[in-house]
Structure 1
Amino acid sequence: MTAQPADFSALMAEVTAVSGKFGHREHVHLTWLAVRRFGTPAAVGLVSDGIQRTARYAGAPQKYHVTVSRAWVELVGHHAAQGGDDEFTAFADSHPLLLDKRLLTRFYRPATLAGAQARAGWVEPDLAPFPWQDGDRRQAGEEPAPRP
């Protein structure tokens, strides 16, 4: 199933129906739903485009951040792929670090995320690899990157 712009609006409505707000937990919930329904690659586009449109509509297009948006979708997608959680509450309980909005600082230096390049395009982590990248490095015979 291909994700469409209307899908973002539907996911947003579903997530905010209970709480009436859209904080970090709701953002992770929306991303989890998008990943489960459309797969991680499609969710990257759906969530990123939806957030960018929402920021533009709110008169704050500068708030959209390419690297942050994609990194969160990929992190949620990685953990969702491990399976076993059919409800968001169980998923959140199983992966509490995803509810920490500072999680990306484990992978990126603050200056990197604050930079224009990361705002406008994808930038790979420069502090520590994502969990799935550590496995790639081990398979290639490299040492895993040190953890912060």
Structure 2
Amino acid sequence: MNQTIDLAPITVAFEAHDIDNAAFDHTDHVRVAFDLLAKYDFIDASAIYAKGIRTLAAKAGAPKKFNLTITYAFMSLIAERLANCPSRDFDAFVRSNTDLMSKDVLMKWYDSARLHADAAHEIFLLPDVA
């Protein structure tokens, strides 16, 4: 996208790696992804997001909680929805995409065992549910 946008304070803190993991909820995950996809192209936004989430997990003492498949699948889903969304307002985006606010939204495309497999933490696994 590469636009000049007003980033949410949570996104500014995320990019600075200055986030309290305990206070970073699912809505914050979606907001940061939304902002990064507006600020950067998909490749850069995804890399910045994945590195930030991995850093959060490590700082929380749980580096194995980082899951590359979940991270990239969510980024891909949000990017696809953004491409079809006329509004660049986060609240309007959420109202039009309420399913993104569920942590289980990826279950439409992934079997739980695949999504949480050891390999899913290290590499991006393609969806397995038709």
Instruction: Report if TM-score (shorter chain) is over 0.5.
Output: yes
SS at match of 2:24: coil
**Match for 1:119 among 118, 121, 127?**
121
Question: Aligned pair count?
Answer: 116
**Structure 1 residues 57-100: Cα deviation after superposition (integer angstroms, max 9, x where no partner):** 11110110010000001100110111311210000001111111
Q: TM-score, normalised to structure 1's length?
A: 0.72
Q: TM-score, normalised to structure 2's length?
A: 0.82
Corresponding residue for residue 87 of structure 2? 85
Corresponding residue for residue 49 of structure 1? 51
Corresponding residue for residue 25 of structure 2? 23
Q: Unpaired runs of 5+ in structure 2?
A: 3-9, 16-21
Corresponding residue for residue 41 of structure 2? 39
**Counterpart code for 1:75:** L
**Match for 1:106 among 99, 103, 108?**
108
SS at match of 2:84: coil
Q: Which has the higher contact order (CA 8 A, sep 6+)?
A: 2
RMSD, aligned α-carbons: 2.0
Runs of 4+ in 1 over 2 A off after TM superposition: none
Corresponding residue for residue 66 of structure 1? 68
Q: Unpaired runs of 5+ in structure 1?
A: 2-7, 14-19, 129-148
